[in-house]
Amino acid sequence: MEFLSDLLGLNWVSMLAQTLNTAVPIVLAALGGILAERSGVINIALEGMMLIAAYAAFAIGVVTGSTLLGLCGGIAAGALLAAFHAVISIKYRTDQTISGTVLNIFAVGITAYLYRQFNMTESVETFQQWNIPILSDIPVIGEIFFQQQPLVYFTIILVGVVQLALFRTTWGLRTRAIGEHPRAADTAGIKVNRMRYLNVILSGALAGLGGAWLIVEAVGSFTPGMTTGRGFMGLAAMIFGNWTPIGAFLAALLFTIPGAVQVKLQLINAPIPYQFLGMLPYILTIVVLVGAVRRNKPPAAIGKPY
């Protein structure tokens, strides 16, 4: 009974704020996945791009003492690995799932090596919370949406921007065209492979931003393998959201609820082993995939080199 009253006494509003905050990297990964897949390239290496970006953000942030430069370094590192993925899969026409997996392995290896070889013990100063004037004073809603760190706002804006760009601009139309029917797009004068390079590199930059979030907003220091499946959850969110930014955003929130609940339950020593709470996001990802896949259709030309 004591547990129940503890449960009711928890700050559920701050839990929802936490859910939104921790969804950031998954949303960014999902946006990256959408850009790549809409143009017809599978990007299963989002996880690796995030990991490399996290290390780059950490190392550059520590060396320069600037969190902002760390953030830029992370984005660049993600884009660089994505460029590699683009070359392997577009120019050399390698199986894109294999290329992506190999790059994931590469990311694990190189970051673990650099981390151990240079053994930096300092950490990066994380971005402060920005309270939006007036809006943050609104009860409940203010605390959930307007008392966050900068990348949270930026990510929400990005979701809207990518949604509009994908469905309302020439670039978006071309991207969708080369993902559905590259030959027809080519006939209409669209440079298919050039567009794909652009989209895959942008996708890496987004994943890089998501990876950098771990350093510049979440924890400030690097640990090997710290992305813990967020890139893959981003992919699942993308599928569940039917390859649309807004859909993926909502799906990503679903994955981060258990984590936020877990933090709160640990505070009150809930009689559930923490490992089971820790499993929930992964179980949810599978459930979501199983539920969504038949309903949602990927772009028609996905995975096929042109």
Partner 1 sequence: MTNTTKSPSPILKVWDAIWTPLLSVLVALIIAGIILIITGANPLTVYVSLVKGAFIQPGAFAETLTIATPYILLGLGVSLGFTAGLFNIGAEGQFYVGAVVSTYIGYAVTGLPAIIHLPLALIGGALAGALWAGIAGYFKATRGAHEVITTIMLNYIAFALTDYLINGPLRGKGSAPRTPEVLDSALLPKLFSSSDNLHWGFILALVILVGYWFLTQRMPLGLQIRTVGANPDAARYAGISVNRMTVVSMLISGALCGLAGASEVLGRYHYMPAAFTAGYGFDAIAISLLGQGNPIGVLIASVLFGAMNAGSGFMQLEANVTPAIISVLQAFIIVFVAAPAIIRSFFKK
Q: Which residues bind partner 1 (CB under 8 A)?
A: 44, 88, 92-95, 97-99, 101-106, 108-110, 112-118, 228-229, 232, 235-236, 239, 273, 275-276, 278-279, 282-283, 285-286, 289-291, 293-294
Find the shortest distance in angstroms from Cβ 153 to partner 1. 29
Least distance in Å: CB of 283 to partner 1?
6
Q: What is the DSSP letter of 136?
A: G
Nearer to partner 1, 66 or 101 (CB): 101
Nearer to partner 1, 13 or 112 (CB): 112
Closer residue to partner 1 in complex, CB, 146/231: 231
Minimum distance, C-beta of residue 219 to partner 1, in the bound complex (Å): 19
Q: How far is CA 50 from the centre of its chain?
A: 8
Task: Count Cβ atoms below 10 Å from residue 118 Cβ, excluding itself.
Answer: 10
Q: Rounded to whole angstroms, how far apart are CA atoms 275 and 37? A: 33
Nearer to partner 1 by Cβ, of 144 and 260: the residue is 260
d(Cα 51, Cα 108) in Å, to the nearest integer? 7
User: Is 30 or 151 the residue whose CB approaches partner 1 more closely?
Assistant: 30
Least separation, in Å, of the C-beta of 55 and partner 1? 12
Q: Which amino acid is at 150?
A: P
Smallest gap from Cβ 71 to partner 1, in A, equals: 24
Crossing angle of helices 230-240 and 274-292, in 10° steps, is: 40
Give the C-alpha separation, 234 to 253, whole Å.
Answer: 11
**Backbone conformation region of residue 169, classed left if phi is above 0, alpha if psi is from -120 to 50, else beta:** beta
Q: Which three-class secondary structure state does DSSP give residue 148?
A: strand
